Chain A
Amino acid sequence: MNKMVKGAIATGVGVVLLVGGGGTLATWNQAQSASMGSVVSGDLNLEVNTATNSGKWTNAAGTVVDVKAYRVVPGDTLTYTQDLKMTLTGDLMAAKLSLTGAGANTGFTPASVVVSATALNDKSVTASAPSPISASTVLTPAVNGHLVTASTTFTFLASTSNRDSINQTYDFKSVGYKLEQQAPVSANAQ
């Protein structure tokens, strides 16, 4: 055998030995799942609950009126009511419900009208005695799915004299509601 053949055989033996060496690397091992599961986010939502009351004006007689066509006269009292549904989920969820915007008097003599502050009441607590919600009330997931009734009263005073405030308007278009999350105590700053 010449040197070339001897070298080739030695190389082949070395390769075979290396292949055999793979088996010699197998030692004990064990795998374990972290069981971290999934992180699930909560929910915050505020919507008009059209199923119960999407918003309506009623006069003093309790008659539902179409405010686009209705014309008030001194002595009239109109009340606007609307049901809102709150969605609040999340273990550390906290939120506050507040009013946004306000009615704008665009012509009535100020002394001839009184407009109440919009009242928010959680009527899911006790239907017969709704629980008032103020701007400082902290809402938690305990009230998730509750219905809130918002009500505003417009009073055209009977004491209005002469022909004051005829053909005038009071605009409530900008009135709205906002449900806003409050940062948890442990909130990050990011």
Chain B
Amino acid sequence: MHTPRALKAAGLVLAAVVLGLLTVQGTYALWNSAVNSNAGTVQAADFRVSLTDGPTNTTTDMTVNGLPATVALSTTPIGVVIPGQSVYAGVQLGNVTNAGGDFKIRATAGTPGITDSSGSGFASVLSVKAVAADTLAQCQSAALYAGAKNMASVDIAKNMTGVLCFQVTLDASAPGRLQGKSAGISIPLTVDQL
């Protein structure tokens, strides 16, 4: 077999490089020992708050796809509201979390926004009081709202629930021309980790 001279030279260079590399590696090989920490992975908890409407027991998460959700609260069916009387509503908030440690939250009902649906001025004769309670059933008790203001908050421990009750009162001096009118009431709920 006839091997070209260039091929021989290439083979010689390759052999020299391999030997050189092996030699270099050899000089750096000293004892060493390594262990893994097996520390694993730290995982963050979810932050979920459920909202349950009293009379209908309809439940929704406070945020849906990261955006604020709206829950339509049903008022206690007491018939037509006449001046000087009230209707009641409530929402139960659940601290649905998988947090490993303590995770307490505070739910706050902010200043209600009352809007006329037809510019009648009906909103001006409505007032809202908010108060914390233990159960939704308590929301119907007028005595619960003694001394209450239009804002309230409730602290909720991990995997527990809290209730915010609302009393909507039609002013006793409401004029007769407002009969049959309606208004919308919006109550912002915010939840903060404590």
Contacts and interface: CB of A to CB of B under 8 A. Distances in A.
Interface stretch (B32-40, B122-130, B160-168, B170-178): B32-40
B43 interface: yes
- Specify the main secondary structure of chain B where it touches its partner: loop
Contact of A68 (B34, B40, B46): B40
A160 to B, nearest CB: 9
A177 B37 contact: yes
B41 A176 contact: no
A12 interface: no
A47 B34 CA distance: 8
Contacts of B26: 190
B23 to A, nearest CB: 9
A165 to B, nearest CB: 5
A179 B193 CA distance: 44
A170 B34 contact: no
Interface stretch (B50-58, B96-104, B106-114): B96-104
A173 B41 contact: yes
A2 to B, nearest CB: 71
Interface in A157-190: 163, 165-183, 189-190
A19 interface: no
Contacts of A165: 44
A72 B31 CA distance: 40
Interface of B: 26-27, 30-47, 63, 66, 97-101, 103, 193
6 contacts: A44-B32, A71-B98, A150-B37, A154-B42, A172-B40, A174-B36
